[in-house]
Each structure stands twice: as structure tokens, then as C-alpha cells.
Amino acid sequence: MDFLKDAALPQSLEHFHLIVLIAAINSLLFVPFLTFLLGSSVLSYLFDRKEKKDNNPSYNKLAKAVIDVALYNKSVIAFLGIIPGMSLVFIYAQMLQSTGSISVGLAGFGFLSLVVALVLLYTYKYTFRVQGLLDVVGDNKANGDVDDYRRTNTSVHIRTGKWGLFFLIVAVFLYSSAMSVTTNPSSWTDIGSIFDVLISADVWLKFISFLVFSLGITGVGILYFFFAYKDRKPDMDEQLTALVHKIAKRFVVISMLVLPALVLLNVFTLSIDVLSGTIYLLAGLTLVFLFLAAHFLYGYFKQGEVKAVGYGFFFFLCAAASLIINDHVMIGNATKEHAALLGLKYEKTTEELKLKLGVAMVVMTGEDIYNAKCSACHVFDQKKVGPPYNETIPKYNGDKAKIIAFVLNPSKINPAYPPMPNQGLKPAEADSIVSYLLNRIGK
Ligand code: HEC
């Protein structure tokens, strides 16, 4: 899938921020759908198998209703699954161009698996319907054709269910590893093959988070879609209601106990360069939303007030949203340096282009910029508003990209000084001022 990265063009810094935002919006649609689909398919498949063994009609009804909800219709599949799933591949390609990161390949193959899974699971859902129809036709022994058809239908049903689930799990694994690798710049170079992916602790942490999240959203989701969402009540007898309650309760309890731990673990295992105050804030917010969801669902199980399910579902989705936004704040932080470099490349290419077209440019030298924009606060050997360059620049050990990233987007560093205001430089200007500074320091 590297050809996608090669096809991407460098973009300006503003454009880069926009891409991270679009990635967040895509994930907000995609991740809840994907995790709910995973949980529902597993449930449906298990109960479909169980029904064959125990011959309990509630199992069959549940298996059918649950996949009906998850793959509600083709528009839902397209708008929540296929379109955002595909966009993420292109977004990663644009975001991670000219890095060694294999996220694009992971997401790309994840997308292919997802498409296969969706086709198979849709057939699985469809064969469920046919099965229902054939059951209505009844055990008409006189009609061998119906029996034949029933047999073929059943075997297609079993196979599509099994393989659909398999490809879905593969898709979820690949997508979650793509997200994990993207958030973690050190893995852009360390993780070079699927083998490295399989032994990466970060990847497994992300995948397990996805699975636990699947349990939660499936538990809350089936409660909501079966009992609270008005138009779509499948015909629920007492037995089925009890069964759904039992499963949903189990799923919700497990995920509510484990998810907060995973949220915290995820924050505490982040590398220092990626951490920021916003990340703690959003992690805290996720915990609050989870707590509220748990609170309402507990109320529902205690008192049976259907409205509480709606609130529970709402707050669970809020928790999902803050988790996903947090992931993208991490991606934004993780790609800061890379974004500055791409911005620089972008300006260089546009400058070259303009030069070729004969459009004259006024280019400021590093020294000009220093005199115009920095010297009010910085000199080399003395404190002014900001620290002397002789003290701060050597800290970077000549890592130009890091200094450029700071100048383009200053963060709070030394408590003895006020924060540095953003000087609104273009990446190419930041490049020349930093070259000038490094030159003068003699590094
Ligand atoms: C309005 C005052 C002001 C201007 C103008 C200003 N800076 Fe700063 N700069 C600061 C302050 C204050 C700090 C200390 C920030 C901190 O430690 O949190 C700082 C810190 C720095 C640092 C050190 C960062 C570190 O890692 O400790 C660098 C490098 C820097 N500025 C570069 C520049 C450049 C290049 C320009 C001109 C384009 C510039 N500054 C313009 C106030 C300014």
C-alpha cells in the first residue's frame, strides 16, 4: 500500500491540522460501528450455533435480531462502515507520507478484510431470513425441492457466518494496529512488518481495548435497540427478554470494570513527547461518561425504567467520542514534528513552482527574521523576555526539526519564563531562522 503514500503530496501546516480533524470525524463514525458489529456478529454466531445444539427458539431469535440490528441496511453499512473505513486509509497515507510507518498498509488490508467480512455477514443475515421463510413453508416432506434448498441455505449460512466473523476479527485487528502505530512515532521506524506488529505490546493493548469496548457497546446497544428505540422492537417474548438482559448485563459489567483501567493504562504508557494536559482532561472526561453510563444502566437493571437505557447509551457514546477525540489529540501531538517537516517541504515545492513560473518571491533571511521577530525577546547571551539562545539551543543537540516544531508551535517549557507567543512564522521561515540560530551557536 506504499504507493498510496508515494502518491500523497506534502501539505501546509494548516492543511495537516485539518487532516487530523477529518481523521477524528471518520473514526467517530467508524469505530462505534465496527465495534458494535464485532460484538453483535460474535453474539449472533454463538447463539446460532447454540440453537442448533440446544434447540432453544429464543437463541435463534436473538441470533437473528442482533445481526439485523448491526447490519440494519445498506446505507448504514456504507455510511458508517465502508466510506469512513476507506477514507481512513487515504488519510493515513496523506498524514504519514515520507515516513517508514506501515499504518497505511495495515489500514489498507484492514479495509479489504472489512469489505469481505461485510459481504459475508450480509449473506449470513440474508440466509437467516430465507431460513425463516422456509420454516413457514414447513416440513413439507412431499416437496424435495424445499428440503434441498433448505440444506444449501443452511450450509451457506454456516459458512458465511464463520468466515464473515473471521475476516471481521482480522479487520478489527488490522485497524486497531494501524491506529496504535500512528499514535506512536517510535513505532514508525520500529515496526516494519506484520511480525513486528504481532509482538508489539502497544498494538495488543489497543486491540484488547477494542474488544472490551466491543463488549460494552454491544451490551448497551442491544438493550437500546431492543427495548428503548421505538420503531425497531423485534417480537420480544419473556424468554427472549430475559436472555437479552442476561447477556447485556454481563457485557456491560465486564466492560465497565475493565475499560477505565485500559483508559488509564493507555495514558500512562504514552511517551512523554505525546502527553499533554488535554489528554489527561479527555481521559478524565471518558471516565466520567463511563461512570454516568454505568449509573443509568444500573438504574435500569434495578428499576426497569426504559428511559434510563437511552441515557446509558447516550453517555456510553459520549465516552466513546472522548476516547476517540483523545486518540486524535495524541496523533496530533505525535505528528507535530513530522507536520512541520511536511509543511517545510510543501513551501519549498511551492516556492520552486513559483520560481519556475517566474513569480518573484521576497525571501527573508534568517538574520532578517531574527531582527524582525525574535530579538525583541531573545538575544544570545542574556536573559530578556525569553531565555538566551546560548542556553536553550544547545539543549536540542542540533535536532533542527525539534526546534522548528517548537518555533512553529511553542509549548510551555521553563517555569521561570512566561509562555512564548506564537510568532506566526511559515515553516520555510522557521527553517531559515533556526539554521541561522544553529550557525551562530556554532552547532
Ligand atoms: C514576546 C516574546 C518572544 C518572542 C518575540 C520570541 N520568543 Fe522565543 N521565547 C520566549 C519565552 C518567554 C520563552 C520561554 C518559554 C518557556 O520556557 O516556556 C521562549 C523560548 C524560546 C526557545 C527555547 C525553547 C526551549 O526549548 O527552551 C526558543 C528556541 C525560542 N524561544 C525561539 C524563538 C524564535 C526563533 C523567535 C523569533 C521567531 C522567538 N523565540 C520569539 C519569548 C519570545
Residue 18: all three cell numbers together? 485539518
Residue 297's CB is within 10 A of a number of other CB atoms, namely 26
Binding site membership of 392 for ligand 1 (Cβ less than 6 Å): yes
The reported pLDDT for the residue numbered 363 is 65
Does residue 206 contact residue 199 with C-beta atoms inside 8 Å?
A: no
Give the residue-averaged pLDDT of 74-101: 89
Taking the C-alpha atoms of residue 33 and residue 378, their distance in angstroms, rounded to an integer, is: 52
- Å from CA of 420 to ligand 1 middle: 5
Compute the C-alpha angle 5/7/8, nearest 5°: 70
Taking the C-alpha atoms of residue 220 and residue 97, their distance in angstroms, rounded to an integer, is: 38
- Å from CA of 436 to ligand 1 middle: 15
Does residue 331 contact residue 23 with C-beta atoms inside 8 Å?
A: yes
Give the residue-averaged pLDDT of 319-329: 93
The per-residue pLDDT for range 41-81, each reduced to its tens digit, is: 999 999 988 877 787 888 888 888 889 888 888 899 999 99
Give the residue-averaged pLDDT of 20-24: 92
- Is residue 110 pLDDT above 90, yes or no? yes
User: Which residue has cell 427472549?
Assistant: 240
Residue 243: all three cell numbers together? 436472555
Residue 268: all three cell numbers together? 500512562
- Å from CA of 378 to ligand 1 middle: 7
What one-letter code names the amino acid at 136? V
Binding site membership of 439 for ligand 1 (Cβ less than 6 Å): no
Does residue 96 contact residue 20 with C-beta atoms inside 8 Å?
A: no
What one-letter code names the amino acid at 360? A
Binding site membership of 372 for ligand 1 (Cβ less than 6 Å): no
- Å from CA of 16 to ligand 1 middle: 24
Residue whose CA is at the smallest distance from ligand 1 atom 24: 392
Binding site membership of 413 for ligand 1 (Cβ less than 6 Å): yes
Task: Quote the mean pLDDT of the chain.
Answer: 87
Residue 404: all three cell numbers together? 522548528
Taking the C-alpha atoms of residue 145 and residue 135, their distance in angstroms, rounded to an integer, is: 14
Residue 241: all three cell numbers together? 427478554
Share of the chain above pLDDT 70, in %: 95
Does residue 134 contact residue 153 with C-beta atoms inside 8 Å?
A: yes
The per-residue pLDDT for range 232-271, each reduced to its tens digit, is: 565 677 888 888 899 999 999 999 999 999 999 888 887 7
Binding site membership of 376 for ligand 1 (Cβ less than 6 Å): yes
Q: How far is CA 344 from CA 40, 42, 245, in A?
A: 46, 47, 56
Residue 47: all three cell numbers together? 447463539
The reported pLDDT for the residue numbered 16 is 86
Give the residue-averaged pLDDT of 212-226: 92
**Of 155, 180, 49, residue with least CA distance to 102:** 180
Binding site membership of 438 for ligand 1 (Cβ less than 6 Å): no
- Å from CA of 96 to ligand 1 middle: 29
Q: Which ligand 1 atom is at minimum distance from the Cα of 434?
A: 35
Compute the C-alpha angle 114/216/233, nearest 5°: 85
Binding site membership of 394 for ligand 1 (Cβ less than 6 Å): no
Residue whose CA is at the smallest distance from ligand 1 atom 6: 374
Taking the C-alpha atoms of residue 304 and residue 249, their distance in angstroms, rounded to an integer, is: 13
Taking the C-alpha atoms of residue 256 and residue 220, their distance in angstroms, rounded to an integer, is: 11
**Of 8, 2, 34, residue with least CA distance to 320:** 34
Residue 244's CB is within 10 A of a number of other CB atoms, namely 24
Taking the C-alpha atoms of residue 266 and residue 209, their distance in angstroms, rounded to an integer, is: 9
Q: How far is CA 312 from CA 39, 64, 288, 297, in A?
A: 18, 24, 12, 5
Binding site membership of 403 for ligand 1 (Cβ less than 6 Å): yes
Residue 116: all three cell numbers together? 469481505
- Å from CA of 188 to ligand 1 middle: 30
Taking the C-alpha atoms of residue 208 and residue 38, their distance in angstroms, rounded to an integer, is: 13
- Å from CA of 375 to ligand 1 middle: 10
Binding site membership of 425 for ligand 1 (Cβ less than 6 Å): yes
Residue 64: all three cell numbers together? 437473528
- Å from CA of 427 to ligand 1 middle: 16
- Å from CA of 394 to ligand 1 middle: 14
| pLDDT range class, residue 192, cuts 50, 70, 90 | confident
Between residues 69 and 364, the one the model is more confident about: 69
Residue whose CA is at the smallest distance from ligand 1 atom 22: 392
User: Which residue has cell 525571501?
Assistant: 363
The reported pLDDT for the residue numbered 138 is 67
- Å from CA of 239 to ligand 1 middle: 68
What one-letter code names the amino acid at 189? T
